[in-house]
Amino acid sequence: MATEVKVPVLGESVTEATVGEWLKQVGDAVAADEPIASLETDKVAVEVPSPVAGIISGFSVELGETVEVGAVIATVEEGAAPAAKPKADAPAETTKVAPAPAEDAPTIEDAPTMSPAVRRAVLEHGVDPTTIKGTGKDGRLTKEDVLAAAKAKDAAPAAAPAATPAPTAPAAAKGERREERVKMTRMRQTIAKRLKGAQEEAALLTTFNDCDMTAVIEAREAYKDMFAKKHGIKLGFMSFFAKAAALALKDVPAVNAQIDGDEIVYHDYVDLSVAVSAPNGLVVPVVRSIDQMSFAEIELAIADFGKRAKEGSLTMEDMTGGTFTISNGGVFGSLMSTPIINPPQSAVLGLHRIEDRPVALNGEVVIRPMMYLALSYDHRIIDGREAVTALKIMKEAIEDPMRMLIDL
């Protein structure tokens, strides 16, 4: 009996998505609740599970097609026995026209299910997907896994003469210039629209300060081992800045507020959006009531979001809300930036790299680990005095962490 696979409810006010990846192919066996497709919404990727165990008998839509909630995207023949997998030495029947692998080498079909982008990368770089450990959800290969394997392969010393490598796409001739057009993902289109909308609607302004990281670095060094042993997580910088931000937002509530029509909505809580990198772009999951959390709870929550962002398993609920954002460009080496607010929020704190710089201290020039801080804010709701005051409170809390313990 054929069972229809339909687009599930995607989240509040989300009515459609784009088919971003088939995790299974026609003829593949699938277990009940096993994901068979990944849908891209405006914020996150949502996996669609099979409602029954059986064999995928067909797809009703094409890759990249926009589908609405409740639409049928595939059918599963319930209870059908999986087709026997051909032996390694038997010729596999396939219509694939990609470059053939070397004789007796594992074929791309022997590898776990791969997305089109990953499959293309495997073929382009001539790596064996069966020898690569996947870091994606359920151990699936990601494009980054393939690129890392290709880089390691190129860096490895030459071994004994091997079989003639499989033919690959011809390399570009010297002086030849190429272009590639890749359709923007739904998430990337949404990011572009939201950020441009923020520039056009909000009265954006950025105030800067620098902060001496000595005290935080010394605190981490002194307690990192005990902290990790007790809580099972490393003590990072983000929890210090999250607590410092919560302290400042309580004292300057306008920085934690937002405009709704002709009203200003103030919050007596801090739901912190933490910008993290995901395969399809920057995402901002929300750590709720961070002002009520301990350092360990903050570190654990942020680490979990980072892991799930890499796996593509964040949910719509994870991304909803948020009253203030912290974006850490320092992990990529940024010295200074002017971050853009995440609407409808009214402010965002930008962190940057730590570097030793000469500073004047008690009449002497000393070398200190310094970081530039940037607070971008909507001048329609936040005055310059309030923005500067909030950033100064954050700076002082980082330079003297005891302030965060005694609520100063």
The two domains 86-158 and 191-405 share their CATH topology (first three levels equal): no
Instruction: Map tokens 């850490």 to a residue.
Output: 328
- The answer, yes or no, to whether residue 99 has pLDDT greater than 50, is no
- The answer, yes or no, to whether residue 92 has pLDDT greater than 60, is no
Neighbouring CB atoms inside 10 A of 391's CB total 25
Q: Are strands 204-212 and 364-378 parallel, antiparallel or unpaired?
A: antiparallel
Total residues belonging to the chain: 408
CA 141 to chain centre: 16
What are the pLDDT digits (tens) for 130-148? 788 777 756 777 777 777 8
The Cα–Cα gap between 168 and 122 comes to 11
**C-alpha distances out from residue 248 to 256, 309, 393, 406, Å:** 9, 28, 6, 13
- pLDDT (mean) for 216-220: 94
Which tokens belong to 387?
């923005």
- The answer, yes or no, to whether residue 365 has pLDDT greater than 90, is yes
The Cα–Cα gap between 24 and 196 comes to 36
Lowest mean pLDDT among 23-27, 37-41, 304-308, 326-330: 37-41
The Cα–Cα gap between 39 and 363 comes to 60
What are the pLDDT digits (tens) for 36-87? 888 887 767 788 888 888 898 888 888 888 888 888 888 888 875 444 444 4
CA 213 to chain centre: 27
What are the pLDDT digits (tens) for 301-319? 999 998 888 887 888 788 8
Instruction: Map tokens 């935080």 to a residue.
Output: 216
Cα dihedral 303, 377, 404, 392 sign: positive
> Catalytic residues, which ones?
379, 383
Q: Are strands 364-378 and 347-351 parallel, antiparallel or unpaired?
A: antiparallel
Neighbouring CB atoms inside 10 A of 60's CB total 14
Q: Is the pTM of this model over 0.85?
A: no
- Amino acid type, 363: G
Domain boundaries, the chain: 2-78, 86-158, 191-405
- The answer, yes or no, to whether residue 339 has pLDDT greater than 90, is yes
Residues whose CB falls within 8 Å of the CB of residue 43, separated by 6 or more in sequence, listed in order: 11, 14, 187, 190, 283, 316, 319
CATH code: domain 2-78 is 2.40.50.100
From 11, 24, 138, 40, select the one nearest 75 (Cα to Cα): 24
Structure confidence at residue 150 (pLDDT): 80
- pLDDT (mean) for 11-20: 77
From 311, 18, 8, select the one nearest 187 (Cα to Cα): 18
Structure confidence at residue 310 (pLDDT): 82
Structure confidence at residue 13 (pLDDT): 67
Task: Specify the fold of 191-405.
Answer: Chloramphenicol Acetyltransferase (3.30.559)
Task: Specify the fold of 86-158.
Answer: Dihydrolipoamide Transferase (4.10.320)
The Cα–Cα gap between 215 and 324 comes to 25
Q: HEC profile for the chain?
A: CEEEEECCCCCCCCCEEEEEEECCCCCCEECCCCEEEEEECCCCEEEEECCCCEEEEEECCCCCCEEECCCEEEEEEECCCCCCCCCCCCCCCCCCCCCCCCCCCCCHHHCCCCCHHHHHHHHHHCCCHHHCCCCCHHHCCCHHHHHHHHHHHHHCCCCCCCCCCCCCCCCCCCCCCCCCCCCCCHHHHHHHHHHHHHHHHCCEEEEEEEEECHHHHHHHHHHHHHHHHHHCCCCCHHHHHHHHHHHHHHHCHHHHCEEECCEEECCCCCCEEECEEECCEEECCEECCHHHCCHHHHHHHHHHHHHHHHHCCCCHHHHCCCCEEEEEHHHHCCCCCCCCCCCCCCEEEEECCCEEEEEEECCEEEEEEEEEEEEEEECCCCCHHHHHHHHHHHHHHHHCCHHHHCCC
Do residues 217 and 369 lie in contact, with contact meaning Cβ atoms separated by under 8 Å?
Answer: yes
- pLDDT (mean) for 12-28: 82
Structure confidence at residue 283 (pLDDT): 82
